[in-house]
Every structure is written in structure tokens, then in C-alpha cells.
A = this chain, B = another copy of it.
Amino acid sequence: MKYCSNCGHNVTSKIPADDNRPRFVCVECKTIHYQNPRLITGTLPVAKDGRILLCKRNIEPRKNYWTLPAGFMENGETTIEGALRETYEESCVQPIQPKLLSIISLPAWDQVHLFYQVNMVDDSFSTTSESNEVKLFQENEIPWDQLAFPTVSLTLKHYFQTLTNGFSILEDDIQWLDQ
């Protein structure tokens, strides 16, 4: 950040009064510009036969790697609304019965990822501008070495564990990412 989004003058990095960390502050109008982590919301869609839906990413980052449908939560929506919207946008799946499955912090990326387990109303899905392939996988078919993000791997592994150990919500964090 170089310029104030309120008045267009320069910003400088300084610790405001009553604060304890540096913020971008406008030299002219004194507006303090806070920067905070962003939420990524997505789903783990389960078909009627128990298979899991994955999308092959058609966009960077991690183009052509497999992911659970997910994306940045938007202003004006709930975490569930964001997760269901992203699912439809990336796979044309109609997701129902959302159930919080994982919440994972990524402090090095200033992100928090939330995944909901959802059921698919039927087996209809399709490719979209964001996904060049969409497919259902049994557990032993999951392409573990071609998954786009570590939060996708953690959430998938946790889901399969809940099938034998009973339902629970994964609460985790990833302190650093190699990729």
C-alpha cells in the first residue's frame, strides 16, 4: 500500500496511538488502513454413492491441480452462503445440508480456510470457467499427490477418518507452506 484510498495522498507505516503494531496511516487525512486475514470458504461434496467431488483448477495458482470447490468469502454473505456459492460456481453442483467440517488457519498467508461437508442433490455437475475437469472419486482414487492446497488434503483425510471414528470438526493450522 502506497497511497490513501480515502484522499489519494501518501501513506506511511507507523504505530498509531492506542495500538501496538504498525499500520498504514495517511500523512494528510490520518486515516488508518487496517489489513486483516481473509476467509476462504468451500465444501466437500458427497454424492449419493459416497464418492467425493473434486475440481481440476483452470486458473492460477495451482492450475491443473485438484481441489475441493472453494474461494474467497464475499461481503454481504454468510460463511455457508459463500461455500455453497463457490461450489456452484466451480462445479455446477447443487449442495445441500452443509455441516462445518474443518477450520484451518494459514498465518503465513493471512488466510483462514473453512470447509463444509455437503450432500449433492443428484449426480449432476459440470466443468466451468474455473474448473477444466470435475469428477467423483472413491477414497482409493483420490489423487493425493496432485491436490492443489494442503488444506484440501487435510480436510479430505479428516473426512475419511470421520467415517470410521465418528463425526468431528477439524481445527488446525498450517504455520508455513513450501509451495
- Please list the residues of chain A having a beta carbon within 8 angstroms of any beta carbon in chain B: 1-11, 18, 21, 33-39, 72-81, 100, 103, 105, 107-108, 110, 112, 129, 169, 171, 173
- Quickly give the copy total for this chain: 2
Closest CB in chain B relative to A18 CB, distance in Å: 7
Q: Which residues of B contact A10 (CB under 8 A)?
A: 8
Looking at chain A's contact residues, the main secondary structure is loop
Beyond A35-B75, A73-B112, 18 extra complex contacts between A and B, CB < 8 Å: A1-B5, A1-B6, A2-B6, A2-B7, A3-B3, A3-B7, A4-B5, A21-B74, A34-B72, A36-B73, A36-B74, A36-B75, A37-B73, A75-B110, A77-B107, A78-B105, A78-B173, A79-B105
Q: Is the CB of B35 within 8 A of A37?
A: no
State which of B11, B21, B80, B112 has its C-beta within 8 Å of the C-beta of A79: B112
Q: Which residues of B contact A2 (CB under 8 A)?
A: 5-8
Q: Is the CB of A107 within 8 A of B76?
A: yes
Q: Which residues of B contact A35 (CB under 8 A)?
A: 75
Q: Which residues of B contact A72 (CB under 8 A)?
A: 34, 36
The verdict on A78 contacting B100 (CB below 8 Å), with A6-B2, A7-B2, A129-B18 known, is no
